[in-house]
Structure 1
Amino acid sequence: MDGVMKKLILFGTISGGILFWSIHLQADNFDCRNAATQTEINQCVYQDFQQKDEELNHIYQQYYAKLDGVRKDQLKQAQLVWINFRDLSCQYEADYYQGGSLAPMVYSSCLKDKTKERISDLKNYIALY
């Protein structure tokens, strides 16, 4: 991997982390049924992503437990690459709104959607196993 790509990955990871942290600090115990501001909507979309991420982790562990040896290593490597792809891809989408109040919502919504797709993929793998 060349130096530019490594820097892009690092930048995307750091940017995503900062964005997540800022949303997380505001999201504690908020009732999304009453979301009225963009900040509140951003919080709710982030919470939706968190729920899907927990589901993904559960499905991943189920599938991982069924595998052995090389297949476990392959799945682990594939998952790490997929997470990096998801995060960078969603950061790219959110960057269209960089500096605006929509950016966190676009980022979290993208993460949620890509995570739902990955859940579906892993469920299909489990069904084939």
Structure 2
Amino acid sequence: MNRFRLSWSAAVVLTIVALIPWTDRAAAQEVALTPLEATEVARGYRAETIKLKPVVNDKNETIGRINDFIFGKDGNTYAILAVGDFTGLGGHLIAVPFRNLKLDDPSGYVVLPGASRSALEKLPVFVGNNR
């Protein structure tokens, strides 16, 4: 009789596991970082350390300041730059792909190679959705 209960219990557990969608089980496995990825993350920058930093071009001219970041639903990250009024946090807000910024410049500034303040001021104004 105990063998029947054990077998019946095992069958119930297997049935429940089988009912869990395969995609849910597979997705949980994709979350873990490998040691190499964890090391790379640790070498990165915290958003708060580069927010409000001046952005210069490759001629070392100040062209803006990092105001915020947007994490797109498409997986891309964008830096929101304030171009114009440097006395406060105002100015003309624009979005640029984060991958275009150079963070490890010897000057200590964030560099947007090839950009000019006048060109950035001609870009469409970024209007956030306040989410």
Quickly name the TM-score band, shorter chain normalised: under 0.3
The two structures have a TM-score, normalised by structure 2, of: 0.24
**Structure possessing the higher relative contact order (Cα contacts under 8 Å, 6 or more residues apart):** 1
**Greater helix share, 1 or 2?**
1
Structure whose alpha-carbon radius of gyration is higher: 2
